Amino acid sequence: AAMPFMDDAGYPWRSRSLNDEYQLLSDGYGAENTTRQNIVGGILARSIALSLGLVLFSARRPLGRFASNVAHNTYIALQRLALRPGALRIRDLDAPLSPATGANHAPSKWFPRTLRRLFSKSHTAELAHGIDCSCYYTDNMFVNSPVRAHFSFVSDAQFESSYPDLLSSLTHQQRGELYDQLHAEAARRKGAAQAAEARKRLIAREYKPRWPSLWTLSIEHLNPDFVDMVKGGTVPEKLGQGDVYSIPVFSARFCEMLCEELDHFDASGLPMGRPNSMNNHGVLLDELGMTEGLILPLMHEWIKPLCARFNLFVTESEGLDHVKAFVVRYKIGEDEQLASHFDNAEVTLNINIGRRFEGGELAFFGLRSEPRPPPPFYHDWEDEGVGYAVLHRGQELHCALPISDGERLNLVIWMRSAAWRQSCGCPMCGSTARFLT
């Protein structure tokens, strides 16, 4: 599959096969890790780091307070070093290395299971955060300046080889700015799952909701027209060309309460993560603990039956079993627009939950695999109002036009299907071989 890199107009300005990136890796980048000797050496080094860390951890009590803090912090640092994300695992020793991920996920047949468990990196936090493919750490890195585009980034050397024309067109200062953003985004993604898990625990312990009823979906939260639609009354409105639909979802009162809750959370001073790799302002609803009681029931009890009744996205929607939900905020001086992209989802629900604003229309360009010729078709949020949503395939190319005034809040739900992905590949990279298990 070819990865598109989008310009501001929403069309691919350059395409490069992922196989080219993989070949770059196998030709030399990271090749020093492909020998058995270096892998064994890495395991011994990690064993020593863990052992030293445990000694320091057990020595905290006899030491003074200052020395105890030093020992504890050293233990944590050594533990992170020994179990750092992306490190090779013991089960890779008797399997060929994949140039895409640096490791083959085929389990070893001759190492004891207990040793494999001891040295294997757990992906529990990543999967809980919605990271199910290793391409998250290298592909679709979005930068705002000096160009607005998505890139694959493994290393400086790989990037220079992949994008020579782009780099030659930039000044020295612009190249530095570009690399700074790529390095920062790569570092953020590397620690994103663990950071989200820590924030979620802190919020669960410290946050006192203003409207606790929001955490459990009830029929009172829904627009009566949506309830009627799911029961087979009215038909979803199709927008423009392709499979993009407008549907009423939430009541105006629910949207008002949710906006007030978000203001209340913002005023709490508790930390919040970025909604996604492109938006800088908003809230991850899973960190607020809303996934189980609010978002999953909405998908299972309402969106999936709706899709089944009207044969919407049949192959993608029937196996939906996971969600990532977040609120994005568009405001003058913050995120004012969103460049063209496709979603890490099989089906996307994008709901207008409020505030007064002008502009901010959505533009749709067709499926990533079959983009339509210009012009795109547009969706104006003012046509329906608060609580209305657009429902579309995640692979639909789209962008958000700039707002000209006010503030816009949207609740976006990425709905995913593990069965679909295992069969058809990751929607971001197209591969079935890079999934985290």
- Whether the CB-CB separation of 193 and 124 falls below 8 Å is answered with no
Give the three-state DSSP class for 329: strand
Least confident of 83-87, 131-135, 173-177, 344-348: 83-87
Q: What is the pLDDT of residues 120-147, one digit of tens each?
A: 455 778 888 889 999 999 999 999 889 9
Please give the pLDDT value at position 408: 95
| % residues pLDDT > 70 (the chain) | 72
Residue with the two structure tokens 């080094």: 45
Looking at domain 212-424, its CATH superfamily turns out to be q2cbj1_9rhob like domain (2.60.120.620)
Which has the higher per-residue pLDDT, 47 or 4? 47
d(CA 410, CA 335): 13
Residue 58 has pLDDT above 70, yes or no: no
Instruction: Indicate whether 23 pLDDT > 70.
Output: no
Q: What is the pLDDT of residue 157?
A: 96
Looking at residue 233, its pLDDT comes to: 82
> Would you call 108 helix, strand, or coil by DSSP?
coil
Give the residue among 154, 150, 152, 143 at the shortest CA–CA distance from 178: 143
Here the tokens at position 348 are 């996307």
Query: With b meaning 16 or more CB within 10 Å and e meaning fewer, what string describes 270-283?
Result: eebbbbbbbbebbb
With beta carbons less than 8 A apart as the criterion, state whether 324 and 286 touch: yes
What digits encode the pLDDT tens for the residues 257-311? 999 999 999 999 999 999 998 999 999 999 999 999 999 999 999 999 999 999 9
**Closest listed residue to residue 409, CA positions, set 353, 349, 363:** 353
pTM for this prediction: 0.73
d(CA 320, CA 298): 12
pLDDT tens digit sequence for 100-121: 333 333 333 333 444 444 444 5
Segments in 207-280 forming alpha helices (H)? 224-230, 252-268
Q: Which of 20-34, 349-363, 364-378, 423-437 has the lowest mean pLDDT?
A: 20-34
Top-confidence residue, 127 or 255: 255
